[in-house]
Amino acid sequence: MENLKFKILKDSIASESILTRNGNLQTETMKGKEGSLEFIVNWTDDCTYTLTPTKKTFQIYGNLPKNAMLTVKIMETNENSYIQKSTSNFADLEYVAEIIKIE
């Protein structure tokens, strides 16, 4: 399976990040931060997937609940990007961002 690379631009909530997806593993590297976060990707339908933190991510963010999961819904697709809405089972925050394909 090929590596897919995406960029999330900096906004009022998040730092600029590079997402690399290889099969069911997604790695997120935030600009200006050391290390990266890892998540297991599980597609539930054509427009929705969940992200479950790996052991490495739990080591970085020890305060995450053990059952932590993010749900990502793709709201709109464009030629080289998509708009997603992310929610989690541990916070009330809804985050909408444009994800730009770079590779």
The CA-atom distances, in angstroms, between 51 and each of 32, 57, 78 are 23, 11, 22
Average model confidence (pLDDT) across the chain: 92
Amino acid 67: pLDDT: 96
Burial (Cβ within 10 Å: 0-12, 13-18, ≥19) of residue 25: middle
Mean pLDDT of 71-97: 95
**3-state DSSP call for residue 103?**
coil
pLDDT single digits (tens) 49-81: 999 999 999 998 889 999 999 999 999 999 999
Look at the pTM and tell me if it is higher than 0.85: yes
Q: Is the pLDDT at 92 greater than 80, yes or no?
A: yes
Amino acid 11: pLDDT: 77
Structure tokens at 79: 């030629």
